[in-house]
Chains A and B, each alone.
Chain A
Amino acid sequence: METLARKIADILVMTKPKQLLLLMVTMYGAYLLSGGGLEVQTLLLLTITGIGAAGGVTALNMYIEYDIDELMSRTRGRPLPSKRITPEEALAGITLLIVAGALAGTLINKYVAFAALAGFYFDIIGYTEVAKRRSEWALLVGSIAGSMPALGGWAAGSGSINLEGVLLAGIVFVWQPLHVAFIHYYYEDDYERAGVPTIPGKLGPVYFARLAAASVIAVPALTWTIAVLMGAGYFTAGLVTLMASRALVAVARFSREPSREMARSMIKYASPLVGIVFVFMPVEAALAAGV
């Protein structure tokens, strides 16, 4: 029994709980913003969808590429490379997670199921299997997958996929390269050893800094667009603009003197941007609606 509990815990570790938490925040935030009201049953099903589909896909990702994980000091201690769990056990647990997530999504509506399956498609097939080991631009494909929980959350509340939902998911999409590319820069040696091409490694820090700047500018731009379309969320958009300005200054400094320490601090600047949008904006929208 204790062994089973440990195996389950290992499979949960494979879902990358911290990353999953951020994805869940985007999902809940989009759900609340969609204006569909708060229903306990939908919220429960959405939680299962998020943990099952998003977490399961992340774990499947880890299952597929644990040869890379074995090569990188940062990932060597994960359940599969450290042999705490066998591939069969991992695949069985992951399958259960993904199926539960997709079916729970279907019970909400087909658009949520679509988002769950699209996340699988873009993350596993598009990013991990086709693009990651071939192109430094693979992270753009991965970013589409990362934006699917937000799209699913929106679809759960609104019952459809429309412009606002796509724009909201777009915030996650434009933010993610910024976040991931700085992680790539920080762990560049590891990625080189594993043969994974990265934007900082292939295109150099100056080009990379320009891309990061574009990403930093796109986040507030999209936030303002959504605020105007929805008629709420101006405070959040202002706050995000302030934070992004600070990040932009840091990006400029990084482009002049690129270093691992600077990259690490950029991760800290970039991380809160999405969290702020998906936490503050629903609160602001609810206050504006007089809830």
Chain B
Amino acid sequence: MDSCNGGRRLSCLSIIVAGLSVLASMAVDAWMVALAVGVALSGVASAIAPLSGRRLCLAVLLLASSLLLGLAGGHSLYVSIAASFAASLVASGRHGVSGGLTALLAPLPGLTVQGLGDEWITLYSGLALVAASLYAYEHTGRGHSFTIASVSPLVFVSGPAVALAAALAGLQLSALVAGLTTSYGCPFRRDSGMAFTGVVLVLIGVLAGLLTGFGPGEATYTLWLTGYLFLVAASLVPLSHKRPATSWEAGS
């Protein structure tokens, strides 16, 4: 039970429902929506299954590389996503004020790359940052910072209005995760190896898109969504699962 951050039945339910919407949106020809929800949710899932020391460093290193490559190649979407993920990963390893501050800073690299001229972007970022800081101080937890950071790239993809809506929806979801569920017991634990696999798959998707220069495509989205599924699955491993710690986990 010590690996639990509170109960998760409701959070599982919300993730499952949201996962269904990801799949449904894929089926009705809305890849970008699917991607966006997937990215946001993988953040939530990662928050439930935070990465341990060595893997966290490796993930941040990979993300930093993709950030640099994105800057060099001028692929701002990837830069935004990679930067947000990197900041989120750092936030996942920090509690309290430092985690909150990291969450605050998470969307900034993307916003800076894109420019802050648009008033909607300013409004969005303002709201997102205020919400992030409030949640960070209140809960000193993870779900909120992850969600805020993960939905921030949306602003460059589907327009500011969608981004705002997505940010608010993400907040509601993270509120479920962080707050409501704590009173419902903890039926699950996490599998760090699977969570790492999920992060690596998302990263490979980003890097593959960057290196080929083709930009986001269906194969990239598939990789991201597969990574997302691994992350969620990693966070929902039943408590009775008595697998011995892997060498990765033992070393963390």
**A interface list, Cβ under 8 A from B:** 60, 64-68, 70, 86-88, 91, 95, 98-99, 102-103, 105-107, 110-111, 113-114, 117-118, 120-121, 124-126, 129-130, 133-134, 161, 195
Contact = CB atoms under 8 A, between A and B. Distances in A.
Interface in B179-204: 187-188, 191, 193-194, 197, 201
A129 B246 contact: no
B37 interface: no
Nearest to B38: A117
Interface residues of B, number: 37
The dominant DSSP class at the A interface is: helix
A107 B217 CA distance: 11
Nearest to B239: A133
Given A102-B222, A125-B232, 20 more contacts: A67-B242, A86-B246, A87-B243, A88-B247, A95-B230, A99-B226, A102-B226, A103-B219, A110-B26, A110-B29, A113-B222, A114-B27, A118-B23, A120-B226, A120-B229, A125-B233, A129-B233, A130-B236, A133-B240, A161-B27
B19 interface: yes
Contacts of A91: 193-194, 197
A91 B247 CA distance: 13
A66 B243 contact: yes
A158 B191 CA distance: 38
CB-based closest 7 A-B pairs: A67-B242, A129-B236, A106-B222, A114-B26, A124-B233, A102-B226, A120-B229
Interface of B: 12, 16, 19-20, 23, 26-27, 29, 31, 187-188, 191, 193-194, 197, 201, 218-219, 222-223, 225-226, 229-230, 232-233, 236-238, 240-244, 246-248
Nearest to B226: A102
